[in-house]
Amino acid sequence: MIIVTGGAGFIGSCIVAHLNARGREDLIIVDNLNDPLKERNLENKKFQKYLDKKDFLVKVKENTLPSVVECVIHMGACSSTTLSDAAYYRENNLEYTKSLALWCRDKGVNFIYASSAATYGDGSHGYKDDEETMRKCQPLNLYGQSKQDFDLWALDKGYLDSFVGLKFFNVFGPNEYHKKDMRSVVLKAYPRAATEGKIALFKSYHPDYADGEQKRDFIYVMDAVSVVLFFLDHPEIAGIYNVGTGQACTWNELAGALFRALGREPDIEYIEMPDHLRKRYQYFTQADMTKLASAGYMKPFQSLQSAISDYVGYLKEDKHL
């Protein structure tokens, strides 16, 4: 049996879809179904049981979960980069994950959890997924700090010799419709791009980057799921790993890819960035993928154009994976 927390969320529900495609239906889904769009992510999915995240935590602490769990894939967390409630991040992201990690450790259950590229902060120490870099990083928001705190806790306890932590970069794709402000720019921009042929991007406030030339490592959710399943298939591998493409692209390139997928000429306007984001904005992210390759993951990642073209097919039909 496999437990997927955040199983009705973005990456989690895509993991469930791919597990179903493999014939795996012996799944327990854990989430908080507080949005009809999130509920749609579970349509046509096959699993044995759904548990609310609070009820699941009770079962973890009372040790009443099934004894036949093969792996816990922990994708559940608050992923907002703008929320200012430090206590909530600590309870929901850090302490919750600790409880689940300790249960897996005690039971000898494989544990794959979502970290984040937000842990790297402004990137001044690079994007290498090693201990030295991990200990130097200073996240720019409470979300990134909550992920960093767990990574360091697991490292200090020596648990990363049996756990897998995945530092996801800018993931986009089907089933993110419920994420409100945390939706990808592709999804946010699509309606206007499709109807008016225009896209709005933030201006740059950094002298080294022109407007729209800020760079991110964008990774399609299908590729991100492929990495998760690689570690599910190889429980003998452990540690922290980046999950990006290793190739940074500009927001202008992303916009151009979306326009091409829609058969339109690019028309981009640059708008002011909200004040609360300016000091916490990442101008460049690019995953160092050396460690993942050395672990044996050799599958190529989709190009930005290919990924966005595929995603647009979902958006045109308002389709979930």
Residue 104 CB-density burial (10 A; 0-12 exposed, 13-18 middle, 19+ buried): buried
Confidence (pLDDT) at 34:
84
Q: What is the band of 67 on the pLDDT scale with cuts at 50, 70, 90? A: confident
pLDDT per position as a tens digit, 268-312: 999 999 998 888 899 999 999 999 999 999 999 999 999 999 999
pLDDT per position as a tens digit, 129-157: 999 999 999 999 999 999 999 999 999 99
Residues 17, 73 contacting (CB under 8 angstroms): no
Confidence check: pLDDT of 80 > 80: no
Per-chain mean pLDDT for the chain: 95
Confidence (pLDDT) at 96:
95
Buried-state track 183-201, b at ≥16 Cβ within 10 A, e below 16: bbbbbbbbeebeeeeebeb
- Tokens for 251? 């927001």
Q: Which amino acid is at 207?
A: P
> What structural domains and CATH numbers belong to the chain?
2-173+218-246+286-303 (3.40.50.720)
159 DSSP assignment = G
Q: Angle, to 10 degrees, between the axis of helix 10-21 and the axis of helix 221-233?
A: 60
Catalytic status, residue 188: no
Catalytic status, residue 281: no
pLDDT per position as a tens digit, 14-53: 999 999 999 999 999 999 998 888 999 999 999 999 999 9
Cβ count within 10 A of residue 260? 15
Catalytic one among 38, 45, 147, 179?
A: 179
Catalytic one among 89, 96, 120, 143?
A: 143
